[in-house]
Amino acid sequence: MPGPASFHPVRREQVTLRLLTTADAPTLADLETRNREQLLMGAPVREEAWFTAAGQRTAIAHALADREAGRSLPLGIYLEEERPPRLVGRLTLAGITRGAFESASLGYWVDHAVTGRGIATHAVRTAIAVAFGALRLHRLQAEVQVGNEASAHLLERCGFLEYGLAPSYLRLGGDWVDCRLFQLVDSRWQPSESGHDTEQDTEPKHDTEHDPDTGPGDKPDTWPEHDAEPDTEHEEEPGNWPEPNAEPGADLDPERGTFERLR
């Protein structure tokens, strides 16, 4: 997988996904601190150092090292309607596995102060386009804590299908919790001509029949809002991709969602 400089920002509506850098550490530390209570509902218990700029710099450095090894893609969620664009959350494609699996896990969270504006929806769909386009993955998975209906609904709207229940699957907030398992499969996947599926570029790949601009999850790290209102976006048939200009639905908060492994 190419180095960080080769990842070009990818935009959908008012949201842009950009590769995280250590320069983002102070902003992420502030976001983590302000959203601490919400994030604790869907993330492991953190040491106090996690909520400092130094702690975030260390976490980002580790995430970028995983990216260089082809195991992860750590991205920042930027709100483009502000100038300069403002970092409002984080999204990770983690646990990237090639060979017979060609799969990754999706996780994300968005600042509680900007939820309800379709930001998480656009971010997830953009991530799917990257995963099934530039990364040439066959499958994405996401885990949702039992009882978090809002996050499950977001994934289903993005085309994910529930395929199982894992008892005592993740230790979140100090307790082992049961999780519902979701996956999204690209039925159009084909091996690359070279036989090596790597990140060639960051532009979503489109065909003439439908748009792959939808997406979902990652492990230990990001959870959308539990009490989100139902959205007004059209419901898609499972496996079909929404049009690129579909209206966003209501957002989920960062307090619960798909577990992000970035941390």
At 41 the pLDDT is 63
At 259 the pLDDT is 56
- Each domain of the chain, given as residue ranges in start order, spans 4-185
Q: What would the pLDDT profile of 206-246 be if each residue is shown by its tens digit?
A: 332 333 333 333 333 333 333 333 332 323 333 333 333 33
What pLDDT tens digit does each residue of the chain (263 aa) get? 444 447 889 998 889 999 999 999 999 999 999 999 888 666 788 999 999 999 999 999 999 999 999 999 999 999 998 889 999 999 999 999 999 999 999 998 999 999 888 898 899 999 999 999 999 999 999 998 898 887 888 889 889 999 999 999 999 878 999 999 999 999 999 887 655 555 544 444 333 233 333 333 333 333 333 333 333 232 333 333 333 333 333 333 433 445 565 44
CA dihedral over 118, 217, 155, 147, signed as positive or negative: negative
How far, in Å, CA of 120 to CA of 81, rounded?
Answer: 15
At 42 the pLDDT is 67
How far, in Å, CA of 39 to CA of 111, rounded?
Answer: 10
At 69 the pLDDT is 95
How far, in Å, CA of 24 to CA of 87, rounded?
Answer: 8
Bridge partner residues of 176 (DSSP): 171
Token digits of residue 40: 């604790």
How far, in Å, CA of 67 to CA of 130, rounded?
Answer: 14
At 150 the pLDDT is 78
pTM: 0.75
- φ/ψ of 189, rounded to 5, equals -60, 135
Q: What is the CATH number of domain 4-185?
A: 3.40.630.30
CB distance 257 to 148 below 8 Å: yes
At 261 the pLDDT is 52
Q: Among 149, 131, 136, which residue's Cα sits nearest to residue 218?
A: 131
